[in-house]
A and B are shown apart, each in its own frame.
Chain A
């Protein structure tokens, strides 16, 4: 099964992480954890995860999203989500995490939403 790929780019003060593949137990979750941790340790407090090409996420991946959200918020920053696929969208609705995350479908709008 394909794992996860992550590419970081900077737009103004926002770090955008383009993710593709599966965020699941093992390599996928580990890569997401490392990517967010590296950004936070580098002082980045405005992080936008682009999940447009993430076709699968399990409870481990959901946990990693929450962990990243909390880690950034503990540094007085914000972690937001962009371009959810239907499966990821449905899972976040189901687990009530839509009430936790700021979710966007347009990159420009998402970038402007950061304080």
Chain B
């Protein structure tokens, strides 16, 4: 980790309120970095969708399982990791929500939104046994070095 790199991590209960909590936490970080209002919205939405995915599909809403959220900050980018304790999934198995036959589906748009709103997006097997969503938002050069405060409010490895 470089001197300017920062890491924060929280373990969330598998609960609807964790979705809001994760979104709020990452929004605070994004705002402190100096992302624009639109970019903050996209980051917040992506975190929200990632945690919804972990809550609903990964952990299948089982309260004994946890959702692991981590944020890594460097001067170049904000990287967000969302890990669940489910069975994992492969991106290529996720149906395309824009396909004609899926337009009236009531679910399945979260991955698409994360892919659309973030600069980089991937899903890999997580160290928690389930899926790990990794998404990156690049920090505009004018904002580089402006992330001193966000982690000062966050307690590492806090149980929510």
Question: Could you tell me which A residues sit within 8 Å of B by CB distance?
Answer: 1, 24-26, 58-60, 62-64, 66-67, 69-70, 87, 91, 94-97, 99-100
Contacts and interface: CB of A to CB of B under 8 A. Distances in A.
Contacts of B116: 94
Contacts of B110: 59
- Main secondary structure on chain B at its contact with chain A? helix
B16 A25 contact: yes
A66 B52 contact: no
A70 B113 CA distance: 22
Contacts, number: 50
B16 A66 contact: no
Contacts of A69: 104
Residue from A64, A95, A100 with most neighbouring chain B CB atoms (10 Å): A95
B47 to A, nearest CB: 11
Given A25-B19, A59-B113, A96-B103, A87 B52 contact: no
A58 B87 CA distance: 24
Contacts of A60: 52
12 contacts: A1-B24, A24-B48, A25-B16, A58-B49, A58-B52, A59-B109, A59-B113, A66-B104, A70-B106, A95-B97, A100-B103, A100-B104
B103 A99 contact: yes
Contact of B52 (A25, A64, A70, A97): A25
Interface string B92-116: 0000011000011111011011001
A59 B103 contact: no
Contacts of B109: 59, 62-63, 95
Contact of A58 (B24, B48, B104, B112): B48
Contacts of B97: 95
A65 B35 CA distance: 30
Nearest to B41: A87
A110 to B, nearest CB: 21
A13 B155 CA distance: 55
Contacts of B106: 63-64, 66-67, 70
B41 A70 contact: no
Nearest to B97: A95
What 8 A-B pairs are tightest by C-beta distance, nearest first? A63-B106, A59-B109, A26-B16, A59-B110, A67-B106, A96-B98, A66-B106, A63-B107
Contacts of A97: 103
B45 interface: yes
A87 B19 CA distance: 19
Contacts of B17: 26
A14 to B, nearest CB: 23
